[in-house]
């Protein structure tokens, strides 16, 4: 039996799943759904579970026998369920960005496929991921099918937030919000994945902002090593207020600039750390880097609240500047000098 993609196996998102089950139970399936929420909260897996529940033979016959059936979920074991879980059902169509964009050619190909009747599905389901990456031409082409969807066809779009989409797309879809996962949910998912130290599970669950995708990234030892290096370096720099301290801050920014693919992650780590130093003084329970309380306690002795706020602002400005493609080395040097109070 394939359980990974049925509703009951999805962690969190009870609100979204309750709504989807109601549509199936009442036979009131909308033509187009829009799932919004941060990356890594379960939008795509829920879309697959929904496609499965719409096509599960066992569930369909159960609903025929008992129209107000409570337990709405796919069996995970019938022909359609297995094909959908194995990603080889001919009527479950996936559209996703290629090099960060969904192009008109992809939408034309989809529209062409939708002119034919579904091969075998009770409901053909199109899962269009990251709809915020539709370019305007592709978005406009998609409107036609959202207005007049073909028979037995249902579209599920996913996106971060409605404001990233054309209002004409949003207004044609039934909108369902996905919330960030709770810390307990992330812990459950990480523990189920196995092979992760309990203290890492704790730290990552606190730091990932409710996104399982991000949690998986944080488990990568490169990230944790980077964090530990940053914490250690900042600790000694903050303690040294003389000219040697300024030199240390600049040597540090040079090191940060060298690992280009890690710069954004590094700045995020720094912001979280500075935030934790602030929070540690008043409410240690709310610290995110719970596994580094000793280092936090030491760091908190060396900086004032005003300095911390100034440093957080320096990192924030650097991040904004880097995103608009300024010179990384110069930006990070300027950030380090401000952080040093120079
Ligand atoms: Zn089934």
Count of domains for the chain: 2
Q: Are residues 159 and 233 in the same domain?
A: no
Q: Are residues 161 and 226 in the same domain?
A: no
Q: Are residues 238 and 168 in the same domain?
A: no
Ligand 1: centre distance to CA 54 (Å): 9
Say if residue 331's pLDDT is above 60.
yes
Arithmetic mean of pLDDT over the chain: 92
Structural domain contains residue 201: no
Ligand 1: centre distance to CA 33 (Å): 22
Ligand 1: centre distance to CA 88 (Å): 15
Ligand 1: centre distance to CA 125 (Å): 15
- Model confidence over 115-173: pLDDT tens digits? 999 999 999 999 999 999 999 999 999 998 998 889 899 999 999 999 999 999 999 99
Mean pLDDT on 66-93: 92
Structural domain contains residue 248: yes
Residue 121 CB burial class (10 angstroms; 0-12, 13-18, ≥19): buried
Quote the pLDDT of residue 4: 64
- What is the pLDDT confidence band of residue 1, given thresholds at 50, 70 and 90? very low
Q: Are residues 37 and 128 in the same domain?
A: yes
Integer Cα distance of 322 and 326 in angstroms: 5
- What is the pLDDT confidence band of residue 3, given thresholds at 50, 70 and 90? low
- Model confidence over 25-63: pLDDT tens digits? 999 999 999 999 999 999 999 999 999 999 999 999 999
Ligand 1: centre distance to CA 105 (Å): 33
Q: Are residues 165 and 244 in the same domain?
A: no
Q: Are residues 299 and 234 in the same domain?
A: yes
* High-pLDDT (> 70) share of the chain, %: 99
Ligand 1: centre distance to CA 322 (Å): 49
Ligand 1: centre distance to CA 121 (Å): 12
CA 25 distance to own-chain centroid: 29
Q: Are residues 44 and 147 in the same domain?
A: yes
Ligand 1: centre distance to CA 87 (Å): 14
**Residue 230 CB coordination number (10 Å):** 20
Instruction: Answer whether 169's CB lies under 8 Å from 32's CB.
Output: no
Q: Are residues 81 and 149 in the same domain?
A: yes
Q: Are residues 28 and 146 in the same domain?
A: yes
- What is the pLDDT confidence band of residue 194, given thresholds at 50, 70 and 90? confident
Whose CA is closest to 249, among 320, 143, 340, 328?
340
CATH of the domain at 268: 1.20.272
Ligand 1: centre distance to CA 55 (Å): 7
Structural domain contains residue 121: yes
Say if residue 200's pLDDT is above 90.
no
Domain encompassing residue 275? 220-340
Q: Are residues 13 and 161 in the same domain?
A: yes
Within 8 A by CB and 6+ apart from 114, the residues are: 124, 126, 145, 150, 153
Structural domain contains residue 301: yes
CATH of the domain at 46: 3.40.50.300
Mean pLDDT on 66-92: 92
Q: Are residues 119 and 239 in the same domain?
A: no
- What is the pLDDT confidence band of residue 95, given thresholds at 50, 70 and 90? very high
How far is the first Cα of the chain from the last one, in angstroms, to the nearest whole number?
A: 63
Q: Are residues 153 and 64 in the same domain?
A: yes
């Amino acid at each position: 039996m394939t359980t990974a993609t049925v509703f009951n196996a999805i962690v969190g998102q009870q609100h979204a799943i309750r709504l989807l089950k109601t549509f199936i139970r009442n036979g009131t399936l909308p033509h187009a759904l829009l799932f919004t929420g941060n990356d890594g909260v379960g939008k795509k897996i829920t879309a697959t579970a929904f496609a499965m529940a719409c096509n599960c033979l066992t569930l369909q016959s159960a609903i025929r026998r008992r129209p107000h059936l409570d337990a709405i979920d796919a069996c995970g074991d019938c022909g359609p369920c297995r094909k959908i879980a194995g990603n080889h059902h001919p009527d479950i169509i996936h559209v996703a960005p290629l090099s960060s964009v969904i192009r008109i050619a992809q939408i034309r190909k989809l529209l062409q496929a939708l002119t034919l009747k579904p091969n075998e599905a009770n409901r053909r389901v199109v899962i269009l991921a990251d709809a915020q990456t539709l370019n305007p031409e592709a978005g406009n082409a998609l409107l036609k099918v959202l207005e007049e969807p073909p028979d037995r066809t249902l579209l599920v779009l996913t996106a971060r937030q409605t404001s990233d989409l054309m209002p004409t797309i949003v207004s044609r879809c039934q909108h369902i919000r996905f919330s960030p996962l709770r810390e307990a949910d992330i812990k459950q998912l990480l523990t189920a994945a196995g092979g992760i130290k309990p203290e890492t599970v704790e730290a990552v669950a606190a730091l990932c902002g409710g996104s399982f995708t991000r949690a998986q990234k944080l488990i990568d030892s490169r990230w944790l090593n980077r964090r530990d290096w940053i914490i250690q370096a900042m600790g000694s720099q903050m303690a040294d207020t003389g000219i040697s301290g300024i030199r240390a801050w600049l040597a540090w920014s040079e090191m940060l600039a060298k690992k280009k693919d890690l710069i954004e992650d590094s700045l995020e780590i720094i912001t979280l750390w500075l935030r934790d130093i602030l929070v540690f003084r008043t409410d240690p329970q709310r610290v995110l880097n719970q596994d580094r309380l000793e280092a936090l306690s030491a760091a908190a002795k060396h900086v004032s609240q005003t300095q911390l706020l100034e440093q957080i602002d320096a990192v924030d400005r650097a991040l904004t500047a880097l995103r608009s493609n300024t010179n990384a080395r110069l930006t990070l040097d300027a950030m380090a000098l401000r952080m040093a109070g120079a």
